[in-house]
Amino acid sequence: MKQVLLSLTTIALVCLMMVGGAFAQFSDTETSRANIVAAGTLDLVVNAENPLESTLIDFQNMYPGEYREVEINLTNQGSLAGNTWMMFTDLVCSTGAYVEPEAAVEGDTPIDDICSQIIVSIDGVEQGTLAEIANVAIPLFLLEAAGNGNSGVTMVLGFLFVEEAGNEYQGDMCEFTMVFGLDQAT
Ligand SMILES: [Ca+2]
Ligand SMILES: [Ca+2]
């Protein structure tokens, strides 16, 4: 019986070889090598600093009704286009220099929320008081990818100390952080 099975297996193998030989045909393949999938980049640069380390706002000695502004350049050094935004955060208002007229108005109740008396504008468009817009991402503009002499966009950031601010704000100060962001556009 074992011999019969071996013989049948042999016959089957021979048949397969014959069939394989009978259906051989011409063929061809083409090969593409070194194909790549790679991520692009986004890299925001502020006032030619990357990373940004400078303080951008240092408006001392302001008076009610005064407006001051600063120009800030945002550039994309990456290979992808991106949308920019900015946010004021970590606001800390304090009494700063405490003077007699301020004390006369405040009495035992300090009023130091000067961030509610500063109106912020971007390119002339009012965004609200520092207090109102704190911790909210403000959309700015599209930045194209780097290259072709792309020098980014320069925005004008304005600060208006409202005219109505009274003696309770004399000497007060507000320190804050500004965050600039670049998010992929597509
Ligand atoms: Ca950067
Ligand atoms: Ca005060």
How much is the pLDDT for 53?
A: 97
Rounded Cα gap, residues 182 and 178, in angstroms: 14
Range of the structural domain that residue 71 is part of:
44-184
Question: From ligand 1's centre to the CA of 134, what distance in Å?
Answer: 22
Determine the distance separating the centroid of ligand 1 and the alpha carbon of 60, expressed in angstroms: 29
Q: pLDDT tens digits, residue range 65-98?
A: 999 999 999 999 999 999 999 999 999 999 999 9
DSSP 52-109: --S------S--TT-EEEEEEEEEE-SSS-EEEEEEEEEEEEE--S--HHHHHHHTTS
Q: Would residue 104 count as lying in a domain?
A: yes
pLDDT at 151: 83
Residue 145 CA to ligand 1 center (angstroms) comes to 13
Total domains, the chain: 1
Residue 34 lies in a domain: no
Is residue 92 in some structural domain? yes
Asked whether residue 52 is domain-assigned, the answer is: yes
- Cα(120)–Cα(158) distance, integer angstroms: 6
Give the pLDDT confidence of 118-177 residue by residue, as tens digits: 999 999 999 999 999 999 999 999 999 998 777 899 999 999 999 999 999 999 999 999
User: Which letter does DSSP use for residue 134 in this model?
Assistant: T
* CA 152-157-159 angle, 5° bins: 175
Task: Find the ligand nearest to 170 CA.
Answer: 2
Asked if the structure places residue 8 within a domain, the reply is: no
Whether the upstream peptide bond of residue 51 has omega within 30° of 0, thus cis, is: yes
CATH number of the domain encompassing residue 151: 2.60.40
pTM for the complete prediction? 0.82
Side by side, the strands of the sheet bearing 44-46 are: 44-46, 67-76, 153-161, 118-122, 125-129
Give the Cα separation of 179 and 87 in Å (integer). 5
Ligand 2: distance of its center to the CA of 136 in Å?
Answer: 25
Distance 120 CA to ligand 1 centre (A): 24
User: Is 21 a domain residue?
Assistant: no
Would 13 be classed as within a structural domain? no
**What ligand is nearest to the CA atom of residue 53?**
1
Task: Indicate whether 73 belongs to any domain.
Answer: yes
